[in-house]
Amino acid sequence: IVSNLQQKRNAKFVFRCTLYYTFTLYVLLCFVTTYYFGDKTVPIITLNWEDYTGGSAPGAPISWWASAISTSVLVFPVVSVSAAFPLNVIPLAQTVQQMFATPDSAADASSSLMLRAGFSLLPILLASAVKDVSKILEFNGMCGFVMAFFVPCSLYIAARADAIRRWGPGAAKNGHWSWPASTTWCVWSVLAVSVVVAAYTLHQV
């Protein structure tokens, strides 16, 4: 993703703003949904808008804007997944290709295409085998916490310890260091929370 940025020096700022913005939206969505739907809130948050009427009385015609909001929210997961699919598949295929590439195959377009096709078909085949959407989302959420929080935090802790061992305490900070995200207490806190949430999600699945 960083390689596609024209001004790579702004990568840290872009990622930080994206993370905070997404986190704020999700928290706001959870609070608003729980407040509006109350005890009738269903686990898959978008399905709460399936019977959204915009405040119309029972039996009264539903306004067009209420139907538009309901449809937009219901189809949002499909649109978001379709948009995120290439963003995930292409970097993953490039990473795997670079890991196992040789001087002769580094620029092999056919192997890159095969990797992209394989990584695209894998989730489709798994989704076709499991019909329960809630289970798919729960398992996806668990993997998301592991990949987005546990793995990066673990790698950061290991890399920081190795850098200090090789070059001394001054190597703990570099041009990518930022407060508070790069502090030890913050990294360990995120790691602990990710473990608890992933374990809870696995228990629910």
For 89-141, write each residue's pLDDT tens digit.
Answer: 888 888 788 777 666 555 566 777 888 888 888 877 877 887 777 777 777 77
Alpha-carbon distance 150 to 55, whole Å?
42
Tell me what pLDDT residue 94 has.
Answer: 80
48: number of Cβ within 10 Å:
19
Rounded to two decimals, what is the model's pTM? Answer: 0.56
Alpha-carbon distance 145 to 150, whole Å?
7
Q: Are residues 178 and 16 in contact, defined by beta-carbon separation less than 8 angstroms?
A: yes
Q: Which residues of 61-75 are buried (b: 16+ CB within 10 A; e: fewer)?
A: eeeeebeeebeebee
Q: How confident is the model at residue 202 (pLDDT cuts 50, 70, 90)?
A: confident
Tell me what pLDDT residue 98 has.
Answer: 78
Q: What is the Cα gyration radius of the chain?
A: 22
Phi, psi of 173 (to 5 degrees): -125, 140
- Scanning 41-150, the segments in alpha helix (DSSP H) are 64-99, 109-129, 133-145
